[in-house]
Structure 1
Amino acid sequence: MVPTPPKRPAPDQEPGAADANKRPRHNAPASPRSIAEFELFEVLGEGAEGVVRRGRDRRTGKNVALKWIFGDGPGGHGHPDRRALAMEAGCLHACRGHPSIIGIHDVAADPKTGDVHLVLELVCGGLTLRESMWKPLSEDVVREMMRQLISAARKIHDAGFIHRDMKPENVLVCPLGALKVCDFGSATRQEPAGKPHEAHPVGTLQYNSPELLDGNWCYGPAVDMWGLGCVMAELLTAETLFDLETREEMLDEMSKLRDQMASASAAGKLDPECLAHLSEAGRDVLTGLLAFRPDERLTAAEALEKPWFKNFKSHWIGL
């Protein structure tokens, strides 16, 4: 029988969220370096908000990744959204040193065009978790990967932020299997109890939590945990849990998922045969991450204390 996670206080009633406004503010460096101090090479990736290129720091000789944040001028040049830029850089700065979060070195600007670059850690290989997912993975491999991702989420949440776009495309895979959460372009600070976030779509539809899809703007770190639950299901099956295109379709499938969990059947759309190898302890984590109500969903700290992680010796993995 699939265990039902116990109810807890709503995320906005937890001490961490209630004290979010008391945490120190982490901002982008006050004086950006000049982009002329870096050599720019090939494009590594491109998204809706910017382009990432391989580069080299002329001053130190270190290889880096430079994320050019699109501005509002012709061709994307010009000053980007400074508030969003400061948020992304601030979140990365607050999480510096965590082994499962991409590192930030500097911010670089072009005084002629207004272009701004985040100078980031360069991950050798550069494949995303999405690009590495071509078959269902064993429980031991999924457990190690989820341990790293949930540990990263715990660091982000403890620092007072929410990533808001946890998905395989935003995880980089190192050659020996270590994972790095990246692309903090949707990140935001946690709000105090009862204070809503700005009412606009965030993240990626297929990884949005029920409360986001339902228009509840007083959300918290639980939205990241739902996204990680979707990632865990995907690692186990090599299939997207909610491969849908509209908010209405998503909410309908989530309601089915909730009902199936309540009746102790297989989790959502997942084929029971695909989960036949998953232990009861693993199912406990999966159902806890995919709890429909955010106040019933596992926090990162709670998830890492589950027997599935506590009774397993961590080790690096190769994909």
Structure 2
Amino acid sequence: MAAVVSAEEKEPPEAAMKKELGPAPCGSCITLPPAVAERYEPLEKLGEGMFGDVYKAWDRVGRRLVAIKRLSGRTDDRFVETSLRYFAREGMSSAPAAATPRARSDGDCFVVTMYAGPLNLRQYMRLRSVHGRPFHEAEVRDAMRQLLSGARRVHDAGVLHRDMVPENVIVDEKRDGKKVIYRICGFGVSERAARLDRDGSAPLASPSPYRAPEIFLGSQDYDGRVDTWGLGCIMAELIACSGKPFFGADLDAKVFEKMQRAVGTQGIVEWSGLQRLARRDLAAELREKGYATYTGCLQEVFPEEVLSEAGFEVLSGLLDANPERRLTTKAALRKPWFRRFSFGGCCFVP
């Protein structure tokens, strides 16, 4: 969700990232409408997504750092055109401090929010990998507790995020290094569950390394567990700490095969929704290609010396190929892994 607290202008992770990965593109490459430029001074580009790019800027009036997201009003080689509906959805989800209407001839829109932190989770994982600082299990547990709690609030509001990827998680590491805050952002393809696919965007849900198996198979009748699948992918990447997508491959078909090899195919074949899809021969096709014979190797990839039994219970529950069995955010947070204290048979859950 949108940040509600400002961050300090200089953070150690940001400085380290610039040193190791090179300087960010200059903020002057964004042209702001006069009404916005009068108040906000672009500093540097933070990143980009499906619908536009994001810049760090200085708010001359509020005397604070902000983030400006430009939503592209035209289709080009990089971005999908942003309709007024997408702009309104992004604005409402991000609780903007300011937003400009479609006043420019190119149709670009701008959303201004408080600055949440210097890095996204992809950059942060790369930074930790470069410096040889793998995530300890306690750090992974803290990150997943925050992300699952944030996703639970989104789902409780009747909204599916549909794009749970590291690039849509902002990381704010405090100077003392004792606390890292993870904030979910990037609500450009979010949708209310009751309106799912009325705009035809169901296939857009998540890039392929984070796309749940049911979406790969063409389902348009899914729920919040497409988000928990994405969070499971993020959890696997945090443990591996390579900075790369856990199910990454150059083709969607290879991503799907890699996914099935890791988590097994029995779950998706047993999923009752498989018979409700338009292509009713999918189960037979999976068996014919040999996918249905994959038993999964997740336990071998994450043995107990890498991830505790309680931690693996959460990971395997989030990455269950059967969406009917996959953990919801609430069910995941109730797992023993997230219990802070345990005395005999009594547990205290934070």
TM over 0.5: yes
Distance in 1 (CA, whole Å) between partners of 2:266 and 2:147 is 24
Specify the alignment match of 1:137 in structure 2.
135
Match of 1:310 among 317, 331, 339: 339
CA contact (8 A) 2:74 2:108 kept: no
CA contact (8 A) 2:160 2:193 kept: yes
What RMSD in Å do the two structures reach over aligned CA positions?
A: 3.3
Letter in 2 for 1:62: R
Specify the alignment match of 1:8 in structure 2.
none
Q: Which runs of 5+ in 2 are unaligned?
A: 1-33, 175-179, 268-293, 342-347
Match of 1:117 among 88, 92, 110: 110
Specify the alignment match of 2:100 in structure 1.
108
For the structure 1 residues 296 and 63, does the alpha-carbon distance in structure 2 shift closer, same or farther, using more than 3 Å as the test?
same
Match of 1:277 among 306, 311, 314: 306
More contact order relative to length (CA 8 Å, sep ≥ 6): 1
TM-superposed CA distance for 1:192, in Å, is 6.5
Secondary structure of the residue that 2:113 maps to in structure 1?
strand
TM-superposed CA distance for 1:265, in Å, is 7.0
Distance in 2 (CA, whole Å) between partners of 1:157 and 1:203 is 16
Specify the alignment match of 2:249 in structure 1.
244
For the structure 1 residues 198 and 75, does the alpha-carbon distance in structure 2 shift closer, same or farther, using more than 3 Å as the test?
closer
Match of 2:258 among 240, 253, 273: 253
Distance in 2 (CA, whole Å) between partners of 1:293 and 1:131 is 31
Distance in 2 (CA, whole Å) between partners of 1:123 and 1:300 is 23
Letter in 2 for 1:293: N
Match of 2:54 among 39, 52, 55: 52
Distance in 2 (CA, whole Å) between partners of 1:119 and 1:232 is 30
CA contact (8 A) 1:34 1:111 kept: no
Secondary structure of the residue that 1:183 maps to in structure 2?
coil
For the structure 1 residues 260 and 278, does the alpha-carbon distance in structure 2 shift closer, same or farther, using more than 3 Å as the test?
farther
1:174 and 2:157 equivalent?
no
Letter in 1 for 2:211: N
Match of 1:92 among 94, 99, 106: 94
TM-superposed CA distance for 1:294, in Å, is 1.0
Distance in 1 (CA, whole Å) between partners of 2:325 and 2:238 is 23
Distance in 2 (CA, whole Å) between partners of 1:161 and 1:271 is 33
Distance in 1 (CA, whole Å) between partners of 2:113 and 2:162 is 20
- Percent identity, please: 33
Distance in 2 (CA, whole Å) between partners of 1:193 and 1:55 is 34
Distance in 2 (CA, whole Å) between partners of 1:241 and 1:218 is 25
Distance in 2 (CA, whole Å) between partners of 1:277 and 1:74 is 44
TM-superposed CA distance for 1:189, in Å, is 1.6
TM-superposed CA distance for 1:302, in Å, is 1.1
Specify the alignment match of 1:100 in structure 2.
none
Secondary structure of the residue that 1:178 maps to in structure 2?
strand
For the structure 1 residues 203 and 105, does the alpha-carbon distance in structure 2 shift closer, same or farther, using more than 3 Å as the test?
same
For the structure 1 residues 141 and 147, does the alpha-carbon distance in structure 2 shift closer, same or farther, using more than 3 Å as the test?
same
Secondary structure of the residue that 1:254 maps to in structure 2?
helix
Match of 1:296 among 325, 330, 336: 325
